[in-house]
Amino acid sequence: MLPTILDLTSLSEAYAAGKSPLDIIEIVIARRAASTDPAIFITPTPDDILRAEVRALMMRAPEPNSLPLWGIPFAVKDNIDVAGLPTTAACPAFSYRPEKDATVVARLRAAGAIVIGKTNLDQFATGLNGTRSPHGAPRSVFDKNYVSGGSSSGSAVAVASGLASFALGTDTAGSGRVPAAFNNLVGIKPTPGLVPNVGVVPACRSVDVVTVFAPTVGDGVAIRKVMEGFDAADPFSRKAVPASLPASGLRIGVLDGAEREFFGDKEVEALYDQAIERARGLGATIVPFDYAPFREAAALLYDGPWVAERLAAVETFLATNAADFDPTVRGIIEGAKGKTAVEAFNGRYRLEELRRKTEAEWEKADVLLLPTSPTTYTVEEMMADPIVKNGHFGRYTNFVNLLDCAAIAVPAGFDADGHLPAGITLVGSAFADDALAPFADAMHRTLNAGMGKDRLAAIPEASRVPQADDGLVPIVVVGAHLTGMPLNHELTRPGGRRIKSCRTAPDYRLFVLPDTVPPKPGLIREPGFDGKGLEVEVWKVPAEAFGRFVQNIPAPLGIGKVTLDDGSQIAGFLCEAHAIEGAREITELGGWRAYVTDQRIPK
């Protein structure tokens, strides 16, 4: 029985256990036919062609999992070419049938992935809400009254509803991130130029990016790595020089003061604040920064001369087919007709001035943590005020490509009623794509909000994005070595760094060890015990210091593998079972810090 969400780990395990890609594609066909949202696809791949493509894959690569994406079903936004299927950009009169795959599609197919169809979008990728299509508006998988986000609307819904393992979108102003937020998904937004755009209908050619919607950060990164790489046929393709970030102790920039704008949505604001606290718990230093220059840069994308790029992409077609455009899309694109070359240069100058101002803010922070969208709306609300409300969605997304940034959007949880999701986005410098991924993955895992519409789904351990090797050894501490406790100096003096605060798995118990100075707890694992987990910290120390540290641990304490609440296992303090006989159990307090506070023991 396959899970609702078709993540890469689940399918790889199914194939290793004897399932065939033909079995999986039949499940996809059945799910697609049973879908209650008729606006997801513009052109589904016909059933018989899907079966034929799977058989061809199995002839080419008969061994299970012998290719990176062997038998993995994916959907493609219908402004990206797939040979044999029409490309329409959600405008039937514009339709053409490409003879070649877009570069990214060709690379994914070569890796074994199977295209299940072309998905709906805001026409000509103009919009962030998903209502600007003659094929209807795909809806949030959590409430059919609400927008799914756009322009990559159908792609996000296809993944979140379990029809595809991943989907391609495009992102000029936030279209690879906003739909992820509204559907409890990860959105991978590469640095401009990292992924080729050959075979993609342009919106703003100089800043367009092909993106990935996926259930997990690990899945999204793996898929992006298949797609990326220089393509000489794309004049905006670039040879990447990866940027690095600190492996621990990240400085995370967050919104402050008047720049915190949620348009009255207290629920999303609360989720943003909770995300900040989760980042702090993961060991990040939280730093307020001035968003104003980023916001001013964002405004240039639609209010400045860059809107003329949208006209440049469809100028000839618009001249003969204006009546075939969605009225809102047409109004936006025709608004560029008055733009002059002088305005274009002045816009470029203004962008560079603002870029210089943002440099001062980047001195404060390694990564920015922003709401993906400050709010959401029903389809009815969006249709009644399509320009203003669409603009609200882009408040924290529109600057990212203009300022040449990498970004990863991850879920931020659900509102107080558990009704609608929201998202946060981590933004880094150009080509920090890989460097952003471990922290983004950790943020997603701390949330426990599932994947897509399956809120109970556990994020597979196999998809975890590892931290870059910094030469330091991780260790879990539970008692006197916690931050602020008497023995914490044994970690800090040799250069140790706190990575995060978290909890153990549920099957651990905690006891007060008698006659220890300073007072210490004993952590015992008891399989089958169903607790709430215990507060611990994960630190990293130099390897030499770790060796000395272990050598000096007094009995009955020792070092063993401690399983954390996210499923990971890290070396940490454990206690010999005999030592807890007659000792006071404090498991119900949730951790040593609570006991110390309760007993008024000096720290």
175 is known as an active-site residue:
yes
pLDDT in tens, 88-102: 999 999 999 999 999
Tokens encoding 152? 């990559």
Is the residue at 232 inside a domain? yes
Is the residue at 3 inside a domain? no
Helix 21-34 with 8-16: angle, nearest 10 deg: 140
User: Which entry of 12, 77, 140, 155 is annotated as an active-site residue?
Assistant: 77
Query: Number of folded domains in the chain?
Result: 2
CA distance 160 to 415: 18
pLDDT in tens, 312-338: 999 999 999 999 999 999 999 999 998
Is the residue at 594 inside a domain? yes
110-145 exposure pattern, b = at least 16 Cβ within 10 A, e = fewer? ebbbbbbbbbbbbbbbbbbbbbbbebbbbbbbbeee
Residues 454 and 383 in one domain: yes
Q: Tell me, what's the pLDDT at 501?
A: 86
Residues 205 and 339 in one domain: yes
Question: How would you classify residue 249: left for phi > 0, otherwise alpha for psi between -120 and 50, otherwise beta?
Answer: left
Q: Tell me, what's the pLDDT at 486?
A: 93
pLDDT in tens, 140-174: 999 999 999 999 999 999 999 999 999 999 999 99
Q: Tell me, what's the pLDDT at 355?
A: 97
Is the residue at 281 inside a domain? yes
Domain that holds residue 543: 472-599
Query: In 10 A of CB 86, how many CB atoms?
Result: 16
Give the type of residue at 409. A
CA distance 357 to 277: 27
Is the residue at 198 inside a domain? yes
Residues 491 and 459 in one domain: no
Which burial class, exposed, middle or buried, applies to 221 when counting CB atoms under 10 A from its CB (0-12, 13-18, 19+)? buried
Is the residue at 210 inside a domain? yes
pLDDT in tens, 252-303: 999 999 999 999 999 999 999 999 999 999 989 999 999 999 999 999 998 8
Across the chain, how many H-helices and E-strands are there? 19, 21
SS3 at position 190: coil
Name the residue among 549, 544, 575 with its Cα closest to residue 562.
Answer: 575
Q: How far apart are the first and last CA of the chain?
A: 52
Q: Tell me, what's the pLDDT at 600?
A: 58
Q: How remote is the C-alpha of 291 from its chain's centroid? A: 21
Cα angle vertex 183, ends 190, 439, to 5°? 45
Is the preceding peptide bond at 518 cis, omega within 30 degrees of 0?
yes
Contact 150, 129 (CB under 8 A): yes
pLDDT in tens, 361-414: 999 999 999 999 999 999 999 999 999 999 999 999 999 999 999 999 999 999
Is the residue at 231 inside a domain? yes
Q: Tell me, what's the pLDDT at 91?
A: 98
Contact 404, 351 (CB under 8 A): no
Is the residue at 152 inside a domain? yes
Least confident of 27-41, 184-198, 574-588: 574-588
Confidence of residue 108 (pLDDT cuts 50, 70, 90): very high
Rounded percentage of the chain residues whose pLDDT exceeds 70: 99
CA distance 165 to 159: 6
pLDDT in tens, 209-223: 999 999 999 999 999
Residues 476 and 401 in one domain: no
Upper half-sphere CA count for residue 565 (Cβ side, 13 Å): 20
Mean pLDDT, to the nearest integer, of 24-33?
Answer: 98
Give the type of residue at 66. S
Residues 336 and 218 in one domain: yes
Q: Tell me, what's the pLDDT at 601?
A: 53
77 is known as an active-site residue:
yes
Residues 355 and 434 in one domain: yes
CA distance 87 to 79: 6
Q: Which residues pair with 472 in a beta bridge?
A: 542
* The model's pTM: 0.85
Domain boundary among 430, 463, 496: 463
The position carrying tokens 């040979």 is 83
CA distance 514 to 147: 59
Residues 459 and 476 in one domain: no
Compute φ and ψ for 167, nearest 5 degrees.
-150, 150
User: Considering the chain, what is the average pLDDT of its residues?
Assistant: 95
Tokens encoding 250? 């990240």
User: Which entry of 10, 133, 140, 151 is annotated as an active-site residue?
Assistant: 151
pLDDT at 477 over 80: yes
The position carrying tokens 């937020």 is 181
Mean pLDDT, to the nearest integer, of 509-535?
Answer: 94
Residues 484 and 454 in one domain: no
Residues 259 and 318 in one domain: yes
Contact 183, 156 (CB under 8 A): yes
Domain boundary among 422, 442, 463: 463
Any idea what the CATH number is for the domain that residue 524 is in?
Answer: 3.10.490.10
Contact 367, 427 (CB under 8 A): yes
Give the type of residue at 334. E
Which burial class, exposed, middle or buried, applies to 494 when counting CB atoms under 10 A from its CB (0-12, 13-18, 19+)? middle
Largest Cα–Cα separation, the chain: 88
User: Which entry of 155, 175, 373, 429 is annotated as an active-site residue?
Assistant: 175
Residues 312 and 454 in one domain: yes
CA distance 29 to 362: 47
Helix, strand, coil proportions of the chain in percent (round to 5)?
35, 20, 45
SS3 at position 72: coil
Any idea what the CATH number is for the domain that residue 420 is in?
Answer: 3.90.1300.10
Residues 533 and 459 in one domain: no
Tokens encoding 233? 């046929």
Domain boundary among 463, 495, 527: 463
Residues 445 and 579 in one domain: no
Compute φ and ψ for 582, nearest 5 degrees.
80, -5
Q: Tell me, what's the pLDDT at 36?
A: 96
